[in-house]
């Protein structure tokens, strides 16, 4: 499938501007730090409910979509707000009262829901999680919405490091980041982003230096490729066309 990206935004610790991201592409490394975006576009009462991963995702989404409304949304995250979920499990294990608000904000679509509520936007919103292929799944979902007639789709990808209690399950470099694309059907003269899936044709190991979805953003900003990713027995190939 081919799409075009009409705009983008991203946020990670130490990478808060487009210029910083373009410099990062020249020497990509896992973002480090504990900072979080201000998310000044969201009302303070709602903003206080958001953890860092939610703030990152919504900062990227808001900067990319700006004041436009009526655009379908695809939020793609491998783990979602897993830190909040782990905290709820800890409360259950200690036989203490679980916060209803904490539970409602721990579900995988909560960040997208908060974005829709804050903007008073009733547009279609879809949330996906597909392991290392989460960014690819997000693009597939966005392309499907475009095929159904949407002029543009906002795709938001985001994740952060698994909590220490889940460290043994980490299979990607741990870091926090979020990015957003305005995805559309390509027209004459548009720069195309091509995604193809197939069976893995070799057993060559592909060591990860970045989380898979963050590597997709690096590939996009670099403007050259291809990028080949092997995930769960599938081969995903990204190309600029």
Res 95: pLDDT: 80
Q: What is the CA radius of gyration of the chain?
A: 18
Please give the model's pTM, rounded to 2 decimal places: 0.94
Res 93: pLDDT: 84
The answer regarding whether domain 2-190 maps to CATH 3.40.47.10 reads yes
Res 90: pLDDT: 83
Res 76: pLDDT: 98
The alpha-helical segments, DSSP class H, found in the chain are 18-26, 44-47, 52-65, 82-93, 100-104, 110-119, 134-147, 212-222
Res 203: pLDDT: 62
Res 1: pLDDT: 86
Res 206: pLDDT: 64
Buried b (16+ CB within 10 A) or exposed e, 70-80: ebbbbbbbbbb
Q: If we measure between CA atoms, which residue out of 177, 225, 206 comes closest to residue 59? A: 177
Res 97: pLDDT: 80
List the chain residues with pLDDT less than 70.
202-207
Res 51: pLDDT: 94
Res 207: pLDDT: 67
Res 204: pLDDT: 61
- Angular region, 63: left φ>0, alpha ψ -120 to 50, beta rest: alpha
């Amino acid at each position: 499938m081919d799409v075009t990206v009409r705009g983008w935004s991203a946020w990670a610790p130490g990478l808060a501007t487009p210029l910083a991201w373009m410099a990062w592409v020249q020497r990509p490394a896992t973002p480090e730090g504990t900072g979080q975006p201000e998310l000044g576009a969201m009302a303070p009462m709602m903003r206080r409910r958001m953890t860092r991963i939610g703030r990152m995702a919504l900062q990227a989404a808001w900067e990319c979509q700006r004041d436009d409304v009526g655009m379908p949304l695809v939020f793609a995250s491998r783990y979602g707000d897993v830190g909040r979920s782990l905290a709820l499990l800890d409360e259950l294990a200690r036989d203490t009262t679980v916060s209803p608000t904490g539970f409602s904000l721990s579900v995988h679509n909560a960040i997208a829901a908060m974005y829709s509520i804050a903007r008073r936007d009733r547009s279609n919103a879809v949330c996906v999680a597909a392991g290392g292929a989460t960014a690819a799944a997000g693009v597939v979902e966005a392309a499907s919405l475009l095929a159904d007639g949407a002029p543009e789709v906002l795709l938001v990808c985001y994740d952060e490091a698994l909590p220490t209690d889940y460290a043994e399950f980490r299979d990607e470099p741990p870091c926090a980041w979020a990015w957003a694309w305005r995805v559309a059907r390509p027209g004459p003269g548009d720069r195309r982003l091509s995604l193809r899936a197939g069976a893995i044709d070799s057993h060559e190991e592909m060591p990860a230096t970045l989380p898979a979805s963050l590597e997709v953003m690096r590939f996009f900003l670099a403007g050259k490729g291809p990028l080949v990713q092997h995930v769960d027995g599938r081969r995903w190939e990204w190309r600029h066309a």
